[in-house]
Chains A and B, each alone.
Chain A
Amino acid sequence: MDKIKKRLSFILNHKPVTVEVEPDTLLLDLLRETLGLTGTKRGCGEGECGACTVIINNEAVNACLYPAWKVENCRVLTVEGLGTEENPHPLQEAFLEAGAVQCGFCTPGMLMSSYALLQKTANPAESEVKEAISGNLCRCTGYVKIIEAIRKAAQKMNDPSISKRKEV
């Protein structure tokens, strides 16, 4: 039996996309291999490390365990949709300023998990930050700087005058 591809339409990083996808393709492979969005990382490949975290309709999920066909008509946000080098998201600014990045492999997932948190909770307590990133492993810096960065980003987002970001 041949695998029959499906034309899959969804919103990726604020823009509509349509791609042909095999039935057993996982979202992580669709993003990285088909669409060339390699910001989303493959770490453990089994939902333990969170390096592949993306946002689907406001919820953080592990793209490595997520069948691609599930995203039809959904809104998918990856780190590429968060900000750019010229116009970084307050979270990205804060990660740089706080020194929350060392090797960088966990960073996209950390950013997406914290983005999902800040969308729901504008002023998270430290415990809420810790819970939000508890599914994201960092093996370099430890979590102190990361937690600091996320709380700093929350401040920036609550007071836009602190952030350099231009709304586009």
Chain B
Amino acid sequence: MFEKYYKPVSLEEALSRLDDSRGRARIIAGGTDLVLQLQNREIVLDAVVDITAIEQLRYIREEGGMIKIGALTTHSDMAGSPLLKRSASLLSEAAGNVGSLQIRNVGTVGGNVINAQPAADTAVALMALDAMARVVSTAGERQVPLGELYRPEGGTALDPGREIVTEFSFYPPANGGGSGAFNRLARRKAVALPVFNTAVVIWTDQDQSYLTDARIIMGPVARIPFRAREAEKVLTGNPPGEHYFRLAAAQAAGEAKPRDSYLRGSAAYRKKLAQVMVLRALTKAWDGLEKRG
């Protein structure tokens, strides 16, 4: 599969290993996706750079009002995190749905996002949270909004032979009067790719009389996790509750462009599904807000 296995103990060393390999190396963390891609010869490499020894990239913490998650944080870490359960339960729930326990124990949030699958559960949730990714290379570092990590035609917009994502950060919705929810349908409860998933966040004014903003992300209905901007606009400025949630869900289904799939169901079925699933997610997010009062 490859000839060299590097295991740097610092980010600097990892970046220079990438540079030295001139695009013929990739970062490996959990490897649960990459090992399969290498075995199937979807990717051919000279070397892999295992960054799991850089332990300072594995954390979930609150800092300056933001939640920060190191790229090496595993799905199990996120699913079990009291901080996430309290402040961003849509993300811990999304993480708890990925693969199996064995996969979640090993697979990382950085890998789930950078592998750029259109229905990557944590990416869908992070996008609804307006997360930023910290991207570093030997040229320096930058903060990239999650949605800009993807090329519109699919795949990552980063240079995987040169750049490393080290952190995701976001403001917990509750801090700004918001609430989120995650919703997923798969053929079985475990070890199953989603037929459809969605993450939503809604914000209201102080009296909870109208919605000030919304995020509706869906997968896999496009080549990348898809943000239903028109559906969000249906909500903004209007009162929360079933009437506008139904309108927004119908709009979101209209924007979705799923493909016919033997594994995931027909496009027509999944457009109907989108409507039901987005409505349920919005309702759940609103329940969370109402309870908070």
Q: Among the listed stretches B2-10, B172-180, B218-226, which one makes contact with chain A, having 4 or more residues with CB under 8 Å of it?
A: B2-10
Which residue in chain B gives the minimum CB-CB distance to A64? B35
Is the pair B106, A61 in contact by a Cβ cutoff of 8 Å? Answer: yes
A133-B46 Cα distance, complex, nearest whole Å: 36
Is the pair B31, A67 in contact by a Cβ cutoff of 8 Å? Answer: yes
Q: Among the listed stretches B94-102, B117-125, B133-141, B202-210, which one makes contact with chain A, having 4 or more residues with CB under 8 Å of it?
A: B94-102
Instruction: Judge whether A30 is part of the interface by a CB distance below 8 angstroms.
Output: no
- Which single member of A23, A26, A113, A136 contacts B4 (CB below 8 Å)? A23
Chain B, 88-146, CB within 8 A of any chain A CB: 99-103, 105-106
Chain A's interface size range is 20 to 34
User: How close is A155's CB to chain B, nearest CB, in angstroms?
Assistant: 22
Chain A, 49-67, CB within 8 A of any chain B CB: 50, 53, 59-62, 65-67
A26-B28 Cα distance, complex, nearest whole Å: 14
- Which single member of A24, A59, A62, A132 contacts B5 (CB below 8 Å)? A24
Instruction: Judge whether A6 is part of the interface by a CB distance below 8 angstroms.
Output: yes
User: How close is B56's CB to chain A, nearest CB, in angstroms?
Assistant: 18
A59-B76 Cα distance, complex, nearest whole Å: 10
- Which single member of B31, B39, B46, B190 contacts A135 (CB below 8 Å)? B190
Instruction: Judge whether B276 is part of the interface by a CB distance below 8 angstroms.
Output: no
Which residues of the partner chain A approach B50 to less than 8 Å between Cβ atoms?
A: 67, 69-70
Which residue in chain B gives the minimum CB-CB distance to A69? B5
User: How close is A67's CB to chain B, nearest CB, in angstroms?
Assistant: 6
A132-B190 Cα distance, complex, nearest whole Å: 11
Total number of B residues with any Cβ neighbor in A under 8 Å? 28
Instruction: Judge whether A119 is part of the interface by a CB distance below 8 angstroms.
Output: no
A2-B2 Cα distance, complex, nearest whole Å: 10
Chain B, 211-259, CB within 8 A of any chain A CB: none
Chain B, 153-191, CB within 8 A of any chain A CB: 189-191
Which residue in chain A gives the minimum CB-CB distance to B7? A69
Is the pair A47, B32 in contact by a Cβ cutoff of 8 Å? Answer: yes
Instruction: Judge whether B36 is part of the interface by a CB distance below 8 angstroms.
Output: yes
Instruction: Judge whether B1 is part of the interface by a CB distance below 8 angstroms.
Output: yes
Which residues of the partner chain B approach A50 to less than 8 Å between Cβ atoms?
A: 100, 102
User: How close is B21's CB to chain A, nearest CB, in angstroms?
Assistant: 12
- Which single member of A3, A46, A48, A60 contacts B101 (CB below 8 Å)? A60
Which residue in chain B gives the minimum CB-CB distance to A72? B7
Is the pair A2, B99 in contact by a Cβ cutoff of 8 Å? Answer: no
Instruction: Judge whether A1 is part of the interface by a CB distance below 8 angstroms.
Output: yes
Instruction: Judge whether A103 is part of the interface by a CB distance below 8 angstroms.
Output: no
Instruction: Judge whether B52 is part of the interface by a CB distance below 8 angstroms.
Output: yes
Instruction: Judge whether A131 is part of the interface by a CB distance below 8 angstroms.
Output: yes
Across chains A and B, which 10 residue pairs bring their CB atoms closest together, nearest first? A135-B100, A134-B190, A23-B5, A24-B1, A59-B105, A62-B102, A135-B102, A65-B35, A1-B3, A69-B5
Residues on A lying within 8 angstroms of B by beta carbon are: 1-4, 6, 23-24, 26, 45-48, 50, 53, 59-62, 65-67, 69-70, 72, 113, 131-132, 134-136
Q: A59-B76, A67-B48, A70-B50 are in contact. List 15 more A-B contacts (CB 8 A).
A: A23-B2, A47-B103, A48-B100, A53-B102, A61-B102, A62-B102, A65-B31, A65-B32, A66-B106, A69-B5, A70-B31, A134-B100, A134-B189, A134-B190, A135-B101
